[in-house]
């Protein structure tokens, strides 16, 4: 239905690997460590790396003043709320289940696109949404009793997912005449300042020296997540239709669940395996070429 270029496929595969493995990495990073401070340190490392990439690639940094307000709004919905809410939720949930709740985003994206932006979804797209939704339910099957004891974390993760979905739609509709990498860089810079301020105000009394595992998670997030993955995601979100860009990353929570099982000894059940098939069906429903498109 939506043909991806070789560059888009490459970015999608790398993004899935980096973000998928990042869920247990984040869990390691916030274990016995203040979550917002962890995010802030990762951003302070990642923002210069992303800036260096712009310099090497000769991408202009300048954002016309007329678009500063729109840039701020995009940062609020794509970065500020998501980064704050999800990292707090990760500290209270298992890494795999936090990934599942966070990646209800494609479901919110499809629904918001249809309700708020008038997107006409084909039957195959709705099939993809339904398969992804059922996959999420299966992945949460054995966690419902545990999640009920942490309602604040569940609400934070769902709130983060819904605002990220809205931000994705807003990003794709932006008319800013600037490269996506420049938008990504300035949103990352602003988020670095916001998260640093939140850490100073709310977590200063919790500050301790990072352990080796904390440092590994900080470096992983700084270099791979903020230095690469976010820029790759913003490029895909801006260049692909919303359903294609969002459902195409539904293997990330599956990878998060299984990598968490390997690294953190989180238990797997048959529902997890069934969810893998549903996620693959969801992705195929929106990315597999139709006969008309092939013609």
The residue extents of the domains of the chain are: 6-294
- Tens-place pLDDT, residues 106-117: 778 878 887 887
Rounded mean pLDDT, 241-262:
75
Q: With b meaning 16 or more CB within 10 Å and e meaning fewer, what string describes 83-101?
A: bbbbbbbbbbbbbbbbbbb
Of 89, 184, 104, the residue nearest 139 (C-alpha)? 104
Q: Identify whether the C-beta of residue 245 lies closer than 8 Å to the C-beta of residue 11.
A: no
Structure tokens at 24: 């247990």
Percentage of residues in the chain having pLDDT higher than 90: 46
Q: What is the pTM of this model?
A: 0.84
The distance between the two most distant Cα atoms of the chain, rounded to a whole number of Å, is: 63
Q: Is the pLDDT of residue 287 over 60?
A: no
CA 168 to chain centre: 10
């Amino acid at each position: 239905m939506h043909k991806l270029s070789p560059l888009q496929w490459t970015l999608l595969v790398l993004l899935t690997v980096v973000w998928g493995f990042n869920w247990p990495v984040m869990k390691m990073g916030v274990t016995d460590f203040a979550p917002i401070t962890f995010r802030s340190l990762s951003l302070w490392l990642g923002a210069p790396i992303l800036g260096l990439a712009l310099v090497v690639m000769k991408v202009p940094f300048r954002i016309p003043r007329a678009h500063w307000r729109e840039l701020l709004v995009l940062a609020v919905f794509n970065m500020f709320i998501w980064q704050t809410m999800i990292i707090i939720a990760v500290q209270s949930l298992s890494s795999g289940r936090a990934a599942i709740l966070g990646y209800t985003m494609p479901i919110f994206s499809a629904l918001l696109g249809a309700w708020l932006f008038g997107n006409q979804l084909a039957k195959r797209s709705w099939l993809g949404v339904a398969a992804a939704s059922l996959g999420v339910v299966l992945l949460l099957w054995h966690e419902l009793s545990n999640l009920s004891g942490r309602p604040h974390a569940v609400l934070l993760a769902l709130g983060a997912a819904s605002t990220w979905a809205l931000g994705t739609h807003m990003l794709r509709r932006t008319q800013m005449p600037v490269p996506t990498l420049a938008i990504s860089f300035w949103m990352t810079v602003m988020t670095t300042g916001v998260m640093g301020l939140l850490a100073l105000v709310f977590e200063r009394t919790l500050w301790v020296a990072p352990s080796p595992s904390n440092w590994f998670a900080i470096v992983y997030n700084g270099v791979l997540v903020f230095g690469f993955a976010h820029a790759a995601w913003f490029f895909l979100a801006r260049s692909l239709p919303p359903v294609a860009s969002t459902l195409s990353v539904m293997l990330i929570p599956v990878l998060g669940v299984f990598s968490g099982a390997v690294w953190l000894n989180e238990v797997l059940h048959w529902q997890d395996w069934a969810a893998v098939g549903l996620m693959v069906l969801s992705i195929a429903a929106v990315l597999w070429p139709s006969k008309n498109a092939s013609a």
